[in-house]
């Protein structure tokens, strides 16, 4: 995976995971809230219905109270009370019913076929013995009982809440009930409203997350385009730099050959020709010119060796870094007459080839700059192991220079050194003042 895709993935993936976690948390909390709200609504409606049923029973009790309080227990007075309760209907499906203590139905205005039957063992759709449960609630409970019963208006079996009381002197249980299918409708509506709110919240979160993802993607795309443009500019500058360095190196080699070796060889050729003519004429001076030409030819060979050594030191390939630096320092002292103190505290383990070339070229470039510009009388070079790195310090007592101005100038010496050090992810510092200039380099140690 390319770096740009890794960046976008690391930006978008945590956002998507966070949004999914929030959505799951919202769903879990909504389910809990949905159940709590449904229970609250159900309990509120049931409390209201219980109060309503108590009111109906109190009204019915007040209707038959004169008959019950008369003290009579004959069938006539009971029949009159049953007729009064049978006519006392309320609403579409509201009515009163009466059972004996033994479970025999005495009055049911909506289901006449049940009158006179023993219903003590009758069960509802859930297996609940309805009449037994009603008698138990009237005698020992709060009088309320839930069960399923056929709704007169729809002929469908529906949840019902009844409230019953005992008339002990007549051995009656009479009561009434309310069908509570509307409670289920209310709780279902509550759940649907909560679910709709949760869906709206999740959609809003998802929308914001999508917008955030698009913003991150757009930002990544813009960054990618910007990085591509920057990389293209750097690549173009690098290509130009390579071409410039090639031309500069070719110019330097051409100048060395034309101004040095070429002139010497032409001069030697003329001197050999002159010596040849003089020898042909029997002049003793010809032998002297021949010896002088041979001497100058040796100098030319040395100059060719120097140019070759500058291009690629043979000792660096054959004997290694330290002998190559020894030769470089010796040639510098011989050429410039500047005393050079060289300290090395490296172990004998061979250094990586690329690092060796870098260190050699840095010392070579620094000594060349000292020779051309510093007017120094002493040079100190030290190289040692420091915290898994090779530390190189080059110091001279010359006139100094301004590193900032040198970096901005067209010179390539310090720039070459910095680029070589950056290539190995090392560090490079240079400080200078009149009488002291120090160049310090640290390169991570890479063994061959």
| Of the candidates 155, 145, 148, 146, the residue with the CA atom closest to the CA atom of residue 126 | 148
- How far apart CA 155 and CA 133 sit, in angstroms, is 23
Instruction: Establish how many alpha carbons lie within 13 A of residue 127's alpha carbon, considering only the half-sphere containing its beta carbon.
Output: 0
| pTM for the whole structure | 0.45
- Give Cα separations from 32 to 20, 190, 191, 201, 293 (angstroms): 19, 13, 11, 16, 108
- pLDDT tens, residue by residue, 250-298: 777 777 777 777 777 888 888 788 888 888 887 777 788 788 888 888 8
Model pLDDT for residues 160-177, shown as the tens digit of each residue? 999 999 998 899 999 999
Report d(CA 17, CA 25) in Å as an integer. Answer: 12
C-beta separation of 365 from 428 below 8 A: no
- What's the pLDDT score for residue 378? 93
End-to-end CA distance of the chain: 31
Of the candidate ranges 221-225, 367-371, 381-385, the one whose mean pLDDT is the lowest? 221-225
Task: Inform me whether the pLDDT recorded for 85 exceeds 50.
Answer: yes
- Can you tell me which residue has the tokens 């006139």? 399
Q: Tokens 């290539």 identify what position?
A: 423
User: Tens of pLDDT along 362-374?
Assistant: 998 899 889 888 8
Task: Quote the pLDDT of residue 106.
Answer: 93
The band of 448, judged by pLDDT with boundaries at 50, 70 and 90, is very low
CA distances from 143 to 59, 62, 158, 168 (A): 16, 18, 20, 14
Token pair of 83 as six digits = 């007729």
Instruction: Judge contact between 147 and 123, C-beta under 8 A.
Output: no
The pLDDT tens digits of the residues spanning 103-139 come to 999 999 988 899 999 999 899 999 999 999 999 999 9
Task: Give the chain's domains with CATH numbers.
Answer: 3-186 (3.30.450.20), 315-444 (3.30.565.10)
Which phi and psi (to 5°) does residue 404 adopt? Answer: -65, -50
Comparison of pLDDT for 239 and 363, the residue scoring more? 363
**Residue 305: band (very low, low, confident or very high) from pLDDT cuts 50, 70, 90:** confident
Those residues with Cβ within 8 angstroms of residue 158's Cβ, 6 or more apart along the chain or in another chain: 148, 149, 150, 151, 179, 180, 181
The predicted structure's pLDDT at residue 409? 57
Specify whether the CB–CB gap between 180 and 71 falls below 8 A: no
């Amino acid at each position: 995976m390319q770096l740009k895709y890794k960046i976008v993935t690391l930006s978008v993936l945590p956002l998507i995971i966070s949004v999914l976690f929030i959505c799951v948390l919202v769903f879990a909390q909504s389910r809990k809230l949905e159940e709590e709200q449904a229970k609250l609504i159900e309990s509120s409606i049931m409390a209201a219905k219980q109060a309503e049923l108590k009111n109906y029973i109190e009204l019915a009790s007040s209707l038959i109270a004169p008959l019950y309080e008369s003290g009579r227990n004959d069938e006539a007075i009971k029949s009159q009370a049953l007729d009064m309760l049978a006519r006392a209907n309320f609403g579409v499906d509201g009515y009163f019913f009466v059972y004996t203590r033994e479970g025999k139905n005495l009055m049911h205005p909506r289901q006449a076929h049940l009158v006179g039957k023993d219903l003590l063992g009758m069960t509802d759709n859930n297996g609940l013995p309805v009449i037994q449960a009603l008698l138990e609630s009237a005698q020992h409970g709060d009088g309320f009982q839930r069960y399923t019963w056929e709704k007169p208006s729809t002929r469908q079996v529906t949840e019902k809440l009844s409230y019953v009381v005992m008339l002990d002197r007549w051995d009656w249980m009479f009561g009434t009930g309310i069908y509570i299918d509307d409670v289920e409708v209310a709780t279902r509506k509550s759940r649907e409203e909560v679910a709709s709110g949760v869906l709206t919240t999740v959609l809003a979160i998802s929308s914001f997350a999508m917008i955030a993802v698009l913003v991150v993607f757009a930002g990544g795309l813009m960054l990618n385009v910007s990085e591509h443009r920057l990389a293209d500019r750097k690549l173009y500058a690098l290509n130009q730099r390579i071409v410039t360095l090639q031309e500069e190196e070719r110019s330097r080699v051409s100048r060395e050959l034309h101004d040095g070796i070429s002139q010497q060889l032409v001069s030697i050729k003329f001197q050999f020709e002159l010596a040849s003519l003089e020898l042909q004429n029997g002049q003793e001076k010809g032998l002297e010119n021949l010896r002088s030409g041979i001497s100058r030819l040796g100098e030319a060979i040395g100059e060719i060796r120097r140019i070759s050594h500058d291009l690629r030191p043979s000792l660096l390939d054959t004997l290694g870094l330290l002998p190559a630096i020894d030769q470089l320092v010796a040639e510098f002292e011989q050429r410039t007459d500047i005393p050079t103190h060289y300290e090395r505290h490296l172990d004998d383990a061979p250094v990586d080839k690329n690092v060796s070339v870098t260190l050699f070229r840095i010392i070579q470039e620094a000594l060349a700059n000292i020779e051309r510009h510093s007017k120094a009388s002493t040079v100190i070079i030290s190289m040692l192991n420091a915290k898994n790195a090779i530390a190189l310090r080059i110091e001279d007592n010359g006139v100094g220079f301004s590193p900032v101005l040198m970096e901005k100038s067209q010179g390539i010496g310090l720039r070459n050194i910095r680029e070589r050090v950056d290539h190995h992810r090392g560090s490079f510092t240079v400080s200078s003042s009149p009488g002291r200039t120090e160049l310090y380099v640290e390169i991570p140690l890479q063994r061959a």
